[in-house]
Amino acid sequence: MPGTNRNTAGPNGTGFTWYLAGSSLWMGGMSLQGFLFTWMLVGILERPADDVGLARGLAEFPALIILLVGGLLGDRLDGRKLLLFLHAAMALPPLLLALLTVRSGLDYVAVVAFGMTLAALQALSDPARQSMLSTLAGVDTQRAITLTSLITTLVGMGAFYLGGQLDRLGLPLLLTLQAGCFLIGMVAIQRLPPLPPEISAAPLRTEFRAGLRAVIATPIVRSMIGLNLVSSLFNAGAYIVVLPVMVKTVYDGDAAFFSTVLLVFTAGSIGSNLLLLRLMPLRRPGRVFLFMQPVRVVILLVLLLEPARDIFLVTLFVWGVSMGVTSTLVRTTVQECAPSGYRSQVLSWLQLSFMIAAPASATLLGALAAWTSPLIALWPGIVVSVLILAIGGLATGLPRYEAPIAQR
């Protein structure tokens, strides 16, 4: 991006550094959210798998529409001002739940309301936060996204470790620390340069249609978002519902072991980002994405065997590697190909593919795990991974797609 100021763009610029700091603190708070929300249901309230799946569905379904609103806002408003407001708003629900816990204790409705509120606010934030990275990163989008994923994931691991100290530190303190992450993140966001919209505001209906057309009219974006939706629809639930239930019922684990499981999985994701950072720019990321599908099949088949704890953890590490590679490549490919004027909206449709899949998958696979066993709920992911490999390889342009930076 010729003429771009070092303070506003480039993976080595100060603008990118403050973006990375703000995103890391946000991820710290959201990682604590993921841990605490799940363990409050499974470990503290001891709800069955179908209740856990229902809670995840109730928490995330309303955010689907809000996510598209977040895409529109990200293309119409100054991204820095929007994120400052959302960081402040995100700090309130953990503080209120901490106060409720001290006064009267947890209940199912309060935990679900907590999850719904934070999921809605995150949906407003994600498109704008992801879109502004293209401006701050300059031309090296692949490495900027991968470096961001790497650093924020490391911070997320720290949050998972804190979550594992739940029995020692207490839930109110952890919820207060979660709120602190969002509030401190405001300092970093304040240091970002102004990030005004790249296009003039138009009627919301017109902009919404234009953003959707941008997705449909770009074959690689359309293919990546579609395949990601199908993949997440049957794999997300395996991670967010089946995995914690396996920890509790198959391995008789406590909060500390659940924390270890998440740390190992996240370490695999970090390892994948380190490898990708070393190899980028990738010339044909679509081929790597397709190659990871049979890898996931092998991972899920191993989990079906109920391996010993050590092998279980090694398998989760490999699963984390697989997840890290596929999610990073999906995002970098979509972000590289998205039209700049509608990037927030295109990214909101990508995020929507995750958010539609996660609650639907959690509800369906949670019910399946409750009616049969957690292991049976792993089979849909195996079947779908095989189908994605076949459809992606034969009916899309992913095997032939070349990343723009690799063509320079």
For 355-394, the pLDDT digits (tens) are 677 667 777 777 777 777 778 878 888 888 898 888 888 8
pLDDT range class, residue 406, cuts 50, 70, 90: low
Percent of the chain with pLDDT over 90: 13
**Cβ partners under 8 Å of residue 244, min gap 6:** 38, 39, 42, 52, 258
Residue 8: pLDDT band (50, 70, 90) is: very low
345 confidence band (pLDDT: 50, 70, 90): confident
Task: State the pLDDT confidence band at 5, using cuts at 50, 70 and 90.
Answer: very low
pLDDT band at 95 (very low <50, low <70, confident <90, very high): very high
Percent of the chain with pLDDT over 70: 88
224 has a pLDDT exceeding 50: yes
Task: Specify the range with the lowest mean pLDDT, choosing from 173-187, 306-320, 333-347.
Answer: 333-347
- In the predicted structure, residue 217 carries a pLDDT above the cut 80: no
Q: Which CATH superfamily is domain 14-407 in?
A: MFS general substrate transporter like domains (1.20.1250.20)
Q: What is the pLDDT of residues 244-300, one digit of tens each?
A: 878 877 888 777 788 788 889 888 888 887 888 888 777 888 888 888 889 989 999
2-11, 35-44, 306-315: the lowest-pLDDT one = 2-11
- Using CB atoms within 10 Å of the CB of residue 395, give its burial: 0 to 12 exposed, 13 to 18 middle, 19+ buried: exposed
